[in-house]
Amino acid sequence: MTESLPVGATGEKTERVTHENTAIKHGSGSLPVYATPAMVALMEGACVNAVAPHLAEGTSTVGIDLKIKHTAATPVGLTVRAVGELVEIDGKRLLFTVKAFDDKEQIGSGTHERFIIAAEKFLQKAEAKKAD
């Protein structure tokens, strides 16, 4: 399942900071700056982009752990770019380093762990929760 995944694969994802992704809008703070939950989603998306082209049909990845620091505020109007790099493969477990930058500086960094899953089986298990 991981034969075609290269350690060192990188992915990126960017977004402009708007009022929709501020701490106020996410409910994670009271100031109009880029929200930590938005940065987390951007970092995860960068990791998804790093490995998606290499996954077998019918598989996907799910995030299970994220250890990050959000070290600088970004005001509305600037752009944030996240970069994820695959640094370790252990069976179905994938470990990434993640970094985020705005137009002026690095604003966050950390590690992110994802697992390769069979998409249909994963969704069936999730949907089964509704049956109880």
Q: Answer yes or no: 19 catalytic.
A: no
> Is residue 94 within 8 Å of residue 115, measured between CB atoms?
yes
Residue 111 lies in a domain: yes
- Give the chain's domain count: 1
Residue 2 lies in a domain: no
Q: Quickly state the pLDDT bin for 4 (edges 50, 70, 90).
A: confident
Residue 123 CA: distances (Å) to CA of 26, 28, 58: 27, 29, 12
- What is the pLDDT, as a whole number, of residue 2? 62
Q: Answer yes or no: 36 catalytic.
A: yes
Q: Render pLDDT for 44-103 as a digit per residue (tens, 0 to 9).
A: 999 999 999 999 999 999 999 999 999 999 999 999 999 999 999 999 999 999 999 999
Residue 5 lies in a domain: no
CATH code of the domain in which 77 resides: 3.10.129.10
Residue 29 lies in a domain: yes
Q: Answer yes or no: 10 catalytic.
A: no
0.85 exceeded by pTM: yes
Query: From the candidates 10, 14, 36, 111, which is the catalytic residue?
Result: 36
